Amino acid sequence: MSGNVQLLNDTLAAAKSEGRAALIAYLPAGFPTVDGGIAAIKAALDGGADVVEVGLPHSDPVLDGPVIQTADDIALRGGLKIADVMRTVREAHEATAKPILVMTYWNPIDRYGVERFTAELAEAGGAGCILPDLPVQESALWREHADKHGLATVFVVAPSSKDARLAEITAAGSGFVYAASLMGVTGTRESVGAQAEDLVRRTRATTATPVCVGLGVSNAAQAAEVARFADGVIVGSAFVKRMLDAPDDAAGVEGVRALAADLAKGVRGQM
């Protein structure tokens, strides 16, 4: 069974052909429950997200700020397993026919087994993985199995990345490049800043692969700002916060749907 890297490529290309950036939502699996997480992800896609990153909760989430850490802790305390992550990917993709990636640290994959993980993700209809802590020079085994199973390998670049390093990273990746807009952990920010635009410019000089910006975007105005210069706008903490702040799970799901609709207007310049 082959994964859906082509669907991801086609989705990003379709957004570009419409003269806009793609909207990419992040939500962790198993939060607030497995079923609740699936409902929230479907709501994000129904609301206007083009792509979803399903977070695989981890006990040491070095890239993630307090909002996502809180959600991860809830999921892990609920007994989340990798099988639940695969179920989340499968049900979200089957319900929406949109590309679903997994965002995960390397340790859970390493322990689970690279071949097993990639085969199961492809079978579930997944489009690929974002691997924020896997160094490119140590990624050959992963990329071999990801390529075999039709999965994208998305690496993260940061404002501190030198041009030569950017070229090395983008040559190894596929699907899109995840450009972290600033140094630090995930979370909403008052401003995304000029660093992001400079990073996108430098990254594009090394690759034709789409460059999508994450870390800090939380509202339609910021989404519109980033959409001016990036191929995709990635939003995570703002979605998770809607769930955390809601009085109940149903209200949280509706909050996610409403935020996705608002952000979708932002990337389309329809505010």
77-91, 206-220, 254-268: the lowest-pLDDT one: 206-220
Query: Residue 1's pLDDT band (boundaries 50, 70, 90)?
Result: low
pLDDT at 215 over 90: no
In 3-state terms, what secondary structure has residue 133? coil
Which of 10, 46, 50, 53 is catalytic? The answer is 53
pLDDT in tens, 62-87: 666 788 888 989 898 999 999 999 99
pLDDT of residue 59: 77
| Whether 120 is catalytic | no
Calculate the average pLDDT of the chain: 92
pLDDT in tens, 167-182: 999 999 999 999 987 6
Query: Residue 185's pLDDT band (boundaries 50, 70, 90)?
Result: very low
| Whether 64 is catalytic | yes
Indicate the burial class of 159 (C-beta count within 10 angstroms; 0-12, 13-18, 19 or more): middle
Question: What are the helix (H) ranges across 97-214?
Answer: 106-112, 114-123, 140-148, 163-172, 194-204
Cβ–Cβ < 8 Å for 8, 127: yes
Task: Pick the closest to residue 170 from 146, 153, 149 (CA basis).
Answer: 153
d(Cα 269, Cα 227) in Å, to the nearest integer? Answer: 9
Cβ–Cβ < 8 Å for 25, 260: yes
Indicate the burial class of 194 (C-beta count within 10 angstroms; 0-12, 13-18, 19 or more): exposed
Which of 35, 46, 50, 64 is catalytic? The answer is 64
